[in-house]
Structure 1
Amino acid sequence: MVQGLRIALAGLGTVGCGVLKLLKDNADLIERRTGRKIEVIAISARNKNRDRGIDLSRYDWVDDVVDLPKRDDIDLVIELIGGSEGPALELARACLKKGIALITANKAMIAHHGMELAELAESSQIPFAYEAAVAGGIPIIKGVKEGAAANEISQIFGILNGTSNFILTTMEKDKRGFEDVLAEAQALGYAEADPTFDIEGIDAAHKLAILSTLAFGTKLDFDSVKTSGIQTVTLSDMQKAAQMGYKIRLIGQAKKNTQGLFQKVSPCLVPCHHPLAQADGSLNAVVAQGNQVGRLLFEGAGAGAGPTASAVVADLVDIARGGYATPFGIPVQYLEKADTDKADNDKQSVYIRLSIANTAQAVSKLVVLLADADISLESLNQQEGQDQETSDVILVTKACTSEAIENLVKAFNGLAEIKSVPVTMDILNI
């Protein structure tokens, strides 16, 4: 039996307490699988006196998380504080500079500072692991970085946020409005009191940026992710999508081609027969396309104490076994800076909803703007709006570029007859 592994844990929320429970419940199994005794030495969180439902008396309490790597009896720190800046980032930097291995579930910190942290880890040749940062308990990081390492990956896409997926699938099944289901998600603990990061697609964009770096060998570029959320999706959108043979899901999609790197998070119409359309509740599902292995599908629980703690401890087991790999599968110095301006050259159909004035000229003006944008229509559906002054119009375009759609929406916004901001959703051909 080799020397034990001494760890410190920062952050004692749902996941942090789940990690402590998992390490205690499965201690014998983990020791047999690693050949090492895993021992939690110290813990830290904002509130020492909060009742967390577990006995913490066996661990040393440290008031300031940044003091954890100053100890001489710590080999590895698990960071579960969260946030892209502040104590989490300060702790991560301190650990890696001192040569202490780091495990984190903090996707925001990685999306914004991953290049810096990876460079620190590589210069010290110490592990920096983050399986739990993307898709909860699904081993997507290991799957892309290691399992598909022999492949050139052309695209990766999927459902990356469990909160949004819970809201959309509950709206779909129960025929309830967005605000009503959001309130339920908050009551159940699926959504935060401030749900902005989830419902506006920011959380999914953090995760997509990380996956893009792993899949394509490009530098992290969160700022180039085109992001829109689910707050504009209505029951009428879902009903129309169902009539067309689709379901609405918040999809992160990334692809790399000769033009560069394209990354986008947005609500999309997904064919009912596709596995992504079958992922209900808080499930996550990710598809990667490799040039040798073909299409890979990863599906499972994307959040929660058990699945996320499982991913954290999976990283811990790897490190305890002596595993070491560069954080992004390729040394930071060899990651490419990809062009992000011209990469979205694929054509696809788009669903557009808007409200127009009930005048004889309104629809004809829409058609003129479509012709000016060189966009052909698959269908146009007009029905009475909430008042007699307006009509609701659903347009389904034939395949066109996203640039054409962006120009069309700008033109629509300048038309006096249009009484609402147009809502657009890609119709995925997958």
Structure 2
Amino acid sequence: MNPPPKPVAPSIEGPLKVALLGCGVVGAQVARLILDQADDLAARIGCPIELVGIAVANADRDRAGLERALFTTDAPGLVSRGDLDVVIEVIGGVDPCRELLLTAIEHGASIVTANKALLAAHGQELFDAAERRGVDLYFEAAVAGAIPIIRPLRESLVGDAITEVMGIVNGTTNYILDQMCSTGASFADALAEAQSLGFAEADPTADIEGLDAAAKASILASLAFHTRIRGDEVYHEGIADLDSSDVAAALAMGFQVKLLAIAELTDDDTVSVRVHPAMVPNDHPLASVKGANNAIFIHSREAGSLMFLGPGAGGAPTASAVMGDLVTVARNRVRGVAGPATSTYCARKVAPIGEAMSRYFLRFEVRDEPGVLAGAAQIFAEHRVSVQTVQQSTAEAVARDDGLSATLGMLTHEAREADLQSCVRDLAASDFVCGAIRVLRVVGLGA
């Protein structure tokens, strides 16, 4: 049995010493808040705090309102100086952040981070190191910006049994899809607008391919189900392959298209965690989440359904979450304690995507001739996929070299992902389907 964690040693001779790693949009805002709100922070914490250093790549660049004497390019030297109470990390990425934070923990500093990629890849290593050293590791800003979602999962609902976490956790993709749904913009045009407004990076790959959302989903699922889930264990699809026809078909049926992160506790006590686009009914709360906002549902056995909504990105919202963690961690240092550890005692398995259950909407072009509907229905039945409604658009019938074709739309009841994919493969191989089969999962309609 491991010995109990060594209590942290608070700085009682003077102010708590804080170091900052990174001074971009979020880091600069955090630094200014620490300096500008020094008196208020001291009153809330019970002790003054002092920003003693900021590690950056270029220490000579002018940063308005921040003294150059604070800056250093020697991040390893800063985190290993030995007298730090808190290290705040807002650099992002896995390297060199992993080694920097492990070094800071080894030297007795508590950690506040906004780094979802690092936590998704190496969270357990960091949590274990912090617990051994008896220091805090807080990360509210890593998921959903200003929305308080980590603390409710980690503390407020820890006495309940959570069964599902689902929502919009990436503001960039929500803005793009909102533009496509509300204005009819193409994906390329909506992405370009998001970039021009600062909602999307110059390289938007992590957002539009679902990687950012997958990292956040792994963190939420790990907390909700007390199981360490890495980011690379999360199935993810992005939105780059969606086109205007997908959105138009969804709108015509009374749906919005959203990129969702979904983590569910299954009947056999495994965890299904995935990120993908989905059709959401217009009367569902997630359908009304506009722009770059995030929204997350939590379903638990005792509390029922809870929804958290707000700005999910940006310098000020993310800095707000960082500052909340800073106050909490600093209060713990003053008291000489560490906050609750993150529990991963369940060790549940992550279910493969093929075992996930969902409803689906399929849209595909078929030959406009007798027997097509019967043939399609037979394929669905062979794969145990039950069809609820069928739409045939004769208005979209087009002439082909080998005759006319029309568009079929099929909404299914809940089915297993593996069965649906087998059904799609057989439909594509049939002699009556012309071209690609478009598939969107459907959320919010029940089974």
Identify whether the pair has TM-score above 0.5, normalized to the shorter chain: yes
The C-alpha deviation readout for 1:30-75, integer Å capped at 9, x for no partner, is 11111111211101112224444x2332543221322221213422
Matches within 5 A, 1:227-376: 227-259=236-268, 260-322=270-332, 324-328=338-342, 330=343, 332=344, 335-341=345-351, 347-356=357-366, 365-376=375-386
Which of 161, 165, 186 aligns to 1:152? It is 161
Structure 1 residues 376 and 324, CA gap change in structure 2 (3 angstroms): same
1:419 aligns with 2:429: no
1:221 maps to which of 216, 220, 230: 230
Partner of 2:46: 35
Q: 1:139 aligns with which of 132, 141, 148?
A: 148
In the other structure, the counterpart of 2:4 is: none
Task: Give me the whole-angstrom Cα distance separating, in 2, the residues matched to 1:171 and 1:343.
Answer: 27
Partner of 1:7: 18
Whole-Å Cα distance in 1 between the matches of residues 352 and 34 of structure 2?
47
Contact (CA 8 Å) 1:178, 1:234: kept in 2 or not? yes
Q: Secondary structure at the match of 1:300?
A: strand
Q: Quick one: distance in 1 between partners of 2:399 and 2:28?
A: 52
Percent sequence identity over matched residues? 35
Q: Does 1:91 align with 2:105?
A: no
Relative distance call for 1:160 and 1:385 in structure 2 (3 A) is farther
Instruction: Call closer, same or farther: CA 1:385–1:131 in 2, change over 3 Å.
Output: farther
Deviates more, 1:340-349 or 1:142-151: 340-349
Aligned equivalents of 1:257, 1:370: Cα separation in 2? 24
Structure 2 residue 93 is the aligned partner of structure 1 residue 77: no
Whether the 8 Å contact between 2:166 and 2:298 is mirrored in structure 1 is yes
Letter in 2 for 1:307: P
When residues 200 and 355 of structure 1 are mapped into structure 2, their CA distance, relative to the original with a 3 A threshold, is: farther
C-alpha change, 1:421 and 1:67, in structure 2 (3 Å) is farther
CA distance in 1 between counterparts of 2:357 and 2:164 reads: 15
1:395 is aligned to: 410
Shift of 1:304: 0.5
Query: What is the CA–CA distance in structure 2 between the aligned matches of 1:187 and 1:151, rounded to whole Å?
Result: 43
Which residue in 2 is equivalent to 1:170?
A: 179
Residue deviations 1:252-272 (CA, integer Å, cap 9, x gap): 111113411100111111122
Change (3 A) 1:427 1:275: closer
TM-score by length of 1: 0.91
Gaps of 5+ in 1: none
> Deviations 1:123-167 (Å, cap 9, x if unpaired)?
101011111000000110011111112111111111010000011
User: 1:232, 1:423 within 8 Å by CA — same for their partners in 2?
Assistant: no
- 5+ residue gaps, structure 2, are 1-10
How far the C-alpha of 1:29 sits from its partner, in A, is 1.6
How far has the Cα of 1:293 moved from its partner? 1.4
Give the match for residue 115 of structure 1. Answer: 124
- Answer with 184-193 or 72-81: which moved more: 72-81
C-alpha deviation, 1:236, in angstroms: 2.8
Aligned CA RMSD, in angstroms, stands at 2.4
CA contact (8 A) 1:201 1:265 kept: yes
Counterparts of 2:363 and 2:86, CA distance in 1: 52
1:234 is displaced (CA, Å) by: 2.6
Distance in 2, matches of 1:230 and 1:387, equals: 30
Q: Secondary structure at the match of 2:435?
A: coil
Does the CA-based 8 Å contact 2:186-2:244 persist in structure 1? yes
Measure the CA separation in 1 of the matches of 2:283 and 2:16: 47
Determine helix, strand or coil for the equivalent of 1:295.
Answer: strand
Secondary structure of the residue that 2:276 maps to in structure 1? strand
Contact residue 229 and residue 266 of structure 1 kept, 8 A = yes
- Tell me whether 112-121 or 358-367 shows the greater mean CA deviation: 358-367
Moved more, 5-14 or 214-223: 214-223
Residue correspondences, number: 424
Q: Residue 230 of structure 1 aligns to which amino acid in structure 2? A: I
How far residue 385 of structure 1 moved from its aligned partner, in angstroms, is 7.5
2-structure distance, mates of 1:291, 1:380: 38
Q: Is the 8 A contact 1:135 1:160 kept in 2?
A: yes
Classify 1:372/1:344 alpha carbon distance in 2 versus 1 (closer, same or farther; 3 Å): closer
Match of 1:125 in 2: 134
Deviation string for 1:157-215 (max 9, x for gaps)?
11010000011111112111111000111111111111111111111111111011111
